[in-house]
């Protein structure tokens, strides 16, 4: 796919700015969208939802405890894999946050019987039944793949989120004054009602809307030397593509087939659902999300203005404009550009030199706190991490805690050490 749009000789804008607020940014953005979906990226455009086998739910990426492999997991809304869809993990590598100099794609496709065929760039290849919990190993033993039904690790108080955002939409509809940067000035009663709704499901305690949700899962454990040629920092995103049936591709070919038309993509979970027109009419939001899903890395920067507009709204929920993570204190236009630019580079960043993975966005947080530094945590995203509360707190008050939705774990126990990592359905 080539180097990323922010891969240039100069550090990315959000790297140069230095730290403001310096907390961890989470991926549960769609959890903040009014039209709440089943998981972090489940609710998408009509084109995507029309084919659940191509509809990406979530993406996870982290290093193994022995420091030898990169673990990847992609969940799909549907309960099967299609023989007309290509499933791809893209892994860029570099030495600095925001810059990648080498790229490898792990591509899998399936025939009508469910037989998997996968390529780890040009380093390895496999074909066969990958549904056993032990998975299937490549002929060169450079990667292992599992493909089958698993419990979806994402958890969120969707109904509480929807109630909170309905209150916000109603307040915006009544008319709310905004500062020059677009941050709304909600009254105290509205702000209190928003946060109260977020902590409850109806009138009762918070409940996980996704409890028991089963997804098709594609899980890969791949040797780090296959993916880190450009440096120890890895940037991961995933995509589904429209393609001919797997039978149309020569079985057993060692080089991967060409990619088809893009369908859906994900890096940090829920970015599109939360920041692409969450309060716009469906036809407006859907059209822009279609463009987002199909954009290649060179075109991701076009969505910075969309993100800025929505980030300005989140900043005002606590009635304190300018305290969002990375936001400037002044009310001039451009206040939210640093965070919008960071999020537009929609990839999960993993420090492959670390074997401890407990903090989502650890790479970004460490770099923004002290350029060139590393926290000792690999960042990325493991299946056991909850991200909604952290992300909500960062977008609203610039802290890593304080705006919880009443949930802190999934109804199943997942693993970051035992393949295939995701709990059985």
CA distances from 308 to 28, 78, 183, 314, 365 (A): 17, 32, 10, 10, 20
Question: Do the domain assignments include residue 199?
Answer: no
CA distance 281 to 43: 15
* Residues β-bridged to residue 63: 70
pLDDT of 251 reads: 55
CA distance 12 to 101: 14
Question: Do the domain assignments include residue 416?
Answer: no
Question: Do the domain assignments include residue 249?
Answer: yes
9: pLDDT strictly greater than 60: no
Question: Would strands 233-242 and 124-128 be described as parallel, antiparallel, or unpaired?
Answer: unpaired
Q: Which domain holds residue 367?
A: 13-158+208-397
Q: Residue 178 in 3-state DSSP?
A: strand
Average pLDDT in the 166-184 region?
A: 94
In DSSP notation, 300-360 reads GGGGHHHHHHHHHHHHTTTT-TT-STT--SS-STTTTHHHHHHHHS--EEEETT-----ST
CA distance 136 to 147: 9
Read off the pTM: 0.87
pLDDT of 249 reads: 52
Query: Could you report the per-residue pLDDT of 100-138, keeping only the tens digit for each?
Result: 999 999 999 999 999 999 999 999 999 999 999 999 999
10: pLDDT strictly greater than 80: no
Question: Do the domain assignments include residue 409?
Answer: no
pLDDT of 161 reads: 87
Average pLDDT in the 186-215 region?
A: 90
Average pLDDT in the 176-195 region?
A: 95
pLDDT of 245 reads: 53
CA distance 167 to 34: 10
CA distance 161 to 168: 11
Question: Do the domain assignments include residue 417?
Answer: no
pLDDT of 1 reads: 34
Looking at the structure of the chain, the number of domains it has is: 1
Question: Do the domain assignments include residue 200?
Answer: no
Question: Do the domain assignments include residue 167?
Answer: no
Query: Could you report the per-residue pLDDT of 146-157, keeping only the tens digit for each?
Result: 999 999 998 888
In DSSP notation, 213-246 reads -EEEEEEEEEEHHHH-TT-SEEEEEEEEEE---G
Query: Could you report the per-residue pLDDT of 369-407, keeping only the tens digit for each?
Result: 888 888 999 999 999 988 888 888 889 999 888 888 888
Question: Do the domain assignments include residue 59?
Answer: yes
- Report the Cα–Cα distance between both ends of the chain, in Å, rounded: 34
327 compared with 387, residue with greater pLDDT: 327
pLDDT of 357 reads: 96
pLDDT of 409 reads: 84
pLDDT band for 184, please (50, 70, 90 cuts). Answer: very high
pLDDT of 5 reads: 29
CA distance 266 to 139: 29
């Amino acid at each position: 796919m080539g180097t990323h749009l922010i891969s240039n000789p100069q550090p990315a804008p959000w790297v140069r700015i230095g730290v403001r607020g310096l907390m961890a940014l989470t991926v549960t953005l769609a959890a903040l969208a009014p039209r709440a979906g089943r998981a972090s990226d489940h609710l998408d455009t009509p084109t995507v939802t029309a084919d659940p086998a191509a509809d990406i739910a979530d993406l996870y990426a982290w290093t193994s405890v022995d420091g030898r492999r990169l673990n990847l997991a992609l969940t799909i809304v549907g309960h099967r894999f299609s023989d007309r869809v290509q499933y791809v993990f893209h892994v860029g590598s570099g030495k600095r946050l925001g810059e990648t100099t080498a790229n490898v794609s792990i591509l899998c496709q399936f025939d009508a019987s469910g037989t998997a065929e996968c390529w780890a760039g040009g380093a390895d290849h496999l074909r066969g039944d990958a549904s056993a919990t032990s998975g299937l190993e490549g002929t060169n033993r450079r990667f292992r793949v599992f493909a089958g039904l698993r419990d979806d690790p994402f958890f969120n108080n969707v109904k509480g989120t929807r109630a909170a955002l309905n209150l916000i939409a109603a307040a915006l509809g009544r008319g709310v004054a905004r500062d020059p940067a677009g941050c709304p000035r909600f009254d105290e009663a509205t702000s209190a009602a928003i946060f109260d709704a977020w902590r409850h499901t109806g009138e009762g305690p918070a409940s996980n809307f996704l409890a028991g949700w089963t997804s098709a899962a594609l899980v890969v454990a791949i040797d780090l030397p296959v993916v880190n040629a450009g440096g120890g920092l890895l940037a991961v995103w995933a995509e589904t593509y429209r393609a001919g049936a797997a039978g149309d591709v020569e079985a057993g070919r060692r080089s991967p087939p060409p990619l088809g038309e893009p369908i859906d993509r994900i890096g940090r979970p829920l970015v599109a659902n939360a920041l692409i027109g969450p309060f716009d009419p469906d036809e407006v939001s859907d059209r822009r999300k279609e463009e987002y899903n199909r954009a290649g890395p060179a075109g991701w920067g076009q969505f910075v203005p969309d993100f800025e507009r929505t980030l300005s709204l989140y900043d005002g929920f606590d009635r304190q404009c300018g305290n969002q993570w990375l936001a400037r204190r002044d009310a001039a236009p451009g206040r939210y550009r640093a965070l919008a630019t960071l999020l537009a580079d929609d990839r999960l960043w993993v420090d492959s030199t670390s074997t401890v993975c407990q903090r989502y966005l650890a790479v970004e947080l460490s770099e923004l706190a002290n350029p060139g530094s590393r926290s000792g945590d690999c960042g990325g995203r493991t299946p056991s991490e909850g991200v909604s509360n952290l992300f909500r707190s960062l977008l609203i008050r610039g802290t890593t805690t304080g705006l919880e939705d009443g949930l802190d774990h999934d109804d199943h126990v997942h693993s970051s050490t035992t393949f295939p990592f995701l709990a059985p359905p």
